[in-house]
Structure 1
């Protein structure tokens, strides 16, 4: 009788150890399905990195962004930007701020965008005209269009608030590459 009881307990424990991992895995899968937030399934992240070097010139830009896809036609999101620009012996500038973007895809390959950008510019000049600081806010309102393939859009955007010799951008028309994963 003892021998049968020990054999029964041994087989039961063996079976319990064998099946327990499957029950735990199944329970975790069910819990993840119930707690999965559908909001994050529609979020994409992307942004830009820029490096420019030349004769005594440096330009470094980091610009992460994220969008929420409301459906296959409309998306909206936020972006951040930081740039360091230096022309040795002339000026040094720190530019930082954010943007709000709206995207419309009338067909899969075409993307139309509207973006408002607010940047703080802190520049320090040392040159022929003397040493001085120039700190200001720069606002840009871009209207753009591009060709889209998968997660990449190539296009051009126009700053409707552009003023010559006043602001961050040298020209109102700016090409762009937009990537979201």
Structure 2
């Protein structure tokens, strides 16, 4: 009888003790401070999850990214040589295609001209820099503007007796034009608004051709 009573009280004690062990759970949001799964710093403050680097870079790229594929390279070159006349010219240009309606850039140039007649020989040198912009209101039409500053120095030497004359100075120009856009090439009718007497551009209207790659 005693072993039976002892077994009964033992089972009762175990069952009673098991009933006193309870786990209360409360549903909380993931960022609630009571959430035991949050990472905490040494001072007990909640550590915020780091921002994804790729997302930050993507957002920054939309504002500050430089697209190399939109760079455009061109050059104005000229070469004409004969017994009494020589003309050499080179003018590299670099532009950036901002969008389908606008391209802008800058360039430099150097021209050398020598002409000889029976009475004199003249030599001209030109070193210049320019800014330019092409605006495309529609696909095949372009409007063009190019402000530039040129430094020119020249000599005039008589073929007979006489003193050699020299001249030099800064010559500004402001060329505007309009015409056709053919791919990345342009054929425009241009005009120098300033019409300086020493301007390297022809007087009145003249045809201009440019190509970019």
Q: Please give the TM-score of this superposition, normalised by the length of structure 1.
A: 0.74
Structure with higher RCO (Cα < 8 A, 6+ apart) = 1
Larger % of strand: which?
A: 1
- Return the offset for 1:95: 0.5
Q: Which shifted more, 168-177 or 114-123? A: 168-177
Aligned partner of 1:133 in structure 2 is: 166
Mapped contact 2:173–2:199 kept (Cα < 8 A) = no
Is residue 146–residue 175 contact of structure 2 (8 Å, CA) maintained in 1?
A: yes
Q: How far apart in 2 are the matches of 1:50 and 1:147? A: 22
1:130 aligned counterpart, secondary structure: coil
1:45-60 pair list within 5 angstroms: 45-60=73-88
Aligned CA-pair RMSD: 2.0
2:99 is paired with a residue whose SS is: coil
TM-score scaled by length of structure 2 = 0.63
Matched length: 146
1:7-40 deviations in Å (ceiling 9; x for gaps): xxxxxxxxxxxxxxxxxxxxxxxxxxx9xx7431
- Counting only pairs closer than 5 Å after superposition, residues 42-121 of structure 1 correspond to structure 2 as 42-88=70-116, 89-121=120-152
Q: Could you list the per-position Cα deviations for residues 67-103 of structure 1 after superposition, in whole angstroms to 9, with x for gaps in the alignment?
A: 1111000111001110010013421111111100011
Change (3 A) 1:137 1:172: farther
Aligned residue in 2 for 1:173: 205
**Structure ranking higher in helix proportion:** 1
| Structure 1 residue ranges, 4+ long, deviating more than 4 angstroms after superposition | none
> Over alpha carbons, which structure has the higher Rg?
2
